C-alpha cells in the first residue's frame, strides 16, 4: 500500500501548506502566492479524492463489478482535473483584476514564502514520485508544477524587489495558471479515452493482427477489441480462425498478446470456413475473409 501512504503524506502536506499560503498571500499582497494557494487547495482536495478512490480501485472484482474497481482511480483523476481547471480560471481572473488595479506588495515576505514553498513541495514530490497509476501520475504532476510555480515566484519576487515592477506578480500568476490548465486538459483527455474504451496508447491493432496471423496454425484474426481499465490493465477479446492444436494455438496467442501489453484476453476459436455469427464483423481489421496473409508476405516480424 505504498502508493496510498504516499498520497496521504502529500495530502496532509498540501492541505497544511495551502492554508499557510493563503495567510502569506494576504500578508504580502502577492496574487501569485494566492494563486499558488488556490492551486494547492485544489491539489489537496484532489489528492484526498485520489486517496479514497485509489483504495477503492484496489478492491477485487465481485459480482457487481466484474472487472473490478480499477476505474475508480480514473474518476479520481477526472475530479482532480476538474478542480484544477476551475482553480486555474479563477486565478487568471484574479490576476487580471490585479493588473487593472495594482496594490503594493511586500517583496521580502514573498521571497521568504517562495523559498519555503519550493522546499515543502519538493518534499511532497519526492514522496509521491513512485507509482504508475494515472491517478498517481496526476498527483505527481501537481507536485512538480508546484515546485516550478514556486521557483518562478521566487525569481519574480527577487526581480521585483530590485526593480519594483509589480506587474510581474500577476503575469507570473497567469503563466502558472495557463500551464496548469493545459496539463489538466491533457489529463482529462486521457481519462475520457479510457471511459470511451479507446484502444490503449502504444497498441496498434493492425500490427497486432499481423503478428497474430504469423503464429503457426492461425489463419485469420477478427473481431479484435482492445481496451484498458485504468491505463495499465489492458483487456482484449478476439476471434481466431485456426486449424491445428487448439491448446497450443491459444497459448501462443496469449503470449503474443502479453508481449503487446495485454494481460487479460478472451479468445474464441473458429474452424476454417466456419461462418462467423456476429453481425458486427469489423471490416477495416478483418479484410475479406481468410486471405489475411496475402499482403504481408516477405516481411515476417520476429521478436
Per-residue pLDDT of the chain (303 residues; tens, 9 = 90+): 566 777 777 788 778 888 888 887 777 877 777 777 777 777 777 778 777 777 777 788 888 888 878 888 788 778 878 888 888 888 888 889 888 888 788 888 888 888 888 887 787 777 766 666 666 666 677 677 778 778 888 888 899 889 888 888 888 888 878 888 888 898 889 888 888 888 888 888 888 888 888 888 888 888 899 988 877 788 999 999 988 888 888 888 899 888 888 888 898 888 887 777 665 555 444 444 444 444 444 444 455
| Max Cα–Cα distance, the chain, nearest Å | 82
Retrieve residue 39's grid coordinates. Answer: 492551486
**CA nearest neighbour of 87 among 6, 12, 7, 173:** 173
What strands, in cross-sheet order, belong to the sheet with 218-228?
A: 218-228, 234-242, 264-270
Residues 73/50, Cβ–Cβ less than 8 Å:
yes
pTM for this model (two decimals): 0.67
**pLDDT at site 139:** 67
Show contacts of 287-290: CB within 8 Å, 24+ apart: 289/220, 290/219, 290/220, 290/241
Retrieve residue 295's grid coordinates. Answer: 499482403
**pLDDT at site 236:** 92
CA pair distance 257, 220, nearest whole angstrom: 15
Secondary structure (3-state) at 49: helix
Retrieve residue 284's grid coordinates. Answer: 477495416
**DSSP per-residue codes, 175-234:** HHHHHHHHHHHHHHHHHHHHHTTPPPTT--HHHHHHHHHTSTTEEEEEEEEEEESSSS-E
Residues 170/84, Cβ–Cβ less than 8 Å:
no
Retrieve residue 150's grid coordinates. Answer: 514556486
The CA radius of gyration of the chain, in Å to the nearest whole number, is 26
Retrieve residue 84's grid coordinates. Answer: 484544477
Residue ranges and CATH numbers for the domains of the chain are 2-195 (1.20.1510.10), 199-303 (3.30.70.1350)
- How far apart, in Å, are the Cα atoms of 223 and each of 201, 236, 251, 277? 19, 10, 19, 11
**pLDDT at site 239:** 92
CA pair distance 240, 202, nearest whole angstrom: 22
**pLDDT at site 297:** 43
Residues 95/35, Cβ–Cβ less than 8 Å:
yes
CA pair distance 229, 70, nearest whole angstrom: 6
**pLDDT at site 298:** 44
Residues 144/125, Cβ–Cβ less than 8 Å:
yes
Residues 157/114, Cβ–Cβ less than 8 Å:
yes
Helices (H), 29-133: 31-57, 71-100, 107-127
Retrieve residue 194's grid coordinates. Answer: 479510457
Amino acid at each position: 500500500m505504498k502508493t496510498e501512504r504516499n498520497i496521504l503524506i502529500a495530502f496532509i502536506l498540501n492541505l497544511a501548506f495551502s492554508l499557510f499560503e493563503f495567510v502569506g498571500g494576504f500578508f504580502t499582497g502577492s496574487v501569485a502566492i494566492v494563486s499558488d494557494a488556490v492551486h494547492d487547495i485544489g491539489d489537496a482536495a484532489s489528492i484526498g479524492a485520489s486517496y479514497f478512490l485509489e483504495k477503492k480501485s484496489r478492491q477485487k472484482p465481485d459480482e457487481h463489478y466484474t472487472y473490478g474497481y480499477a476505474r475508480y482511480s480514473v474518476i479520481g483523476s477526472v475530479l482532480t482535473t476538474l478542480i484544477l481547471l476551475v482553480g486555474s480560471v479563477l486565478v487568471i481572473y484574479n490576476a487580471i483584476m490585479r493588473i487593472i488595479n495594482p496594490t503594493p506588495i511586500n517583496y521580502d515576505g514573498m521571497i521568504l514564502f517562495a523559498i519555503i514553498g519550493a522546499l515543502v513541495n519538493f518534499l511532497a514530490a519526492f514522496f509521491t514520485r513512485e507509482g504508475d497509476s494515472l491517478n498517481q501520475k496526476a498527483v505527481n504532476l501537481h507536485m512538480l508544477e508546484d515546485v516550478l510555480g514556486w521557483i518562478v515566484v521566487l525569481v519574480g519576487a527577487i526581480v521585483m524587489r530590485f526593480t519594483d515592477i509589480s506587474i510581474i506578480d500577476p503575469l507570473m500568476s497567469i503563466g502558472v495558471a495557463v500551464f496548469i490548465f493545459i496539463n489538466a486538459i491533457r489529463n482529462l483527455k486521457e481519462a475520457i479515452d479510457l471511459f470511451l474504451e479507446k484502444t490503449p496508447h502504444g497498441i496498434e491493432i493492425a500490427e497486432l493482427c499481423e503478428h497474430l496471423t504469423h503464429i503457426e496454425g492461425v489463419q485469420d484474426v477478427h473481431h479484435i477489441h482492445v481496451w484498458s481499465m485504468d491505463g495499465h490493465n489492458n483487456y482484449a477479446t478476439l476471434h481466431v480462425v485456426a486449424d491445428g492444436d487448439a491448446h497450443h494455438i491459444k497459448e501462443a496467442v496469449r503470449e503474443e498478446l502479453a508481449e503487446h501489453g495485454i494481460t487479460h484476453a478472451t479468445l474464441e476459436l473458429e474452424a476454417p470456413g466456419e461462418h462467423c455469427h456476429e453481425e458486427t464483423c469489423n471490416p477495416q481489421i478483418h479484410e475479406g475473409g481468410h486471405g489475411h496473409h496475402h499482403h504481408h508476405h516477405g516481411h515476417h516480424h520476429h521478436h
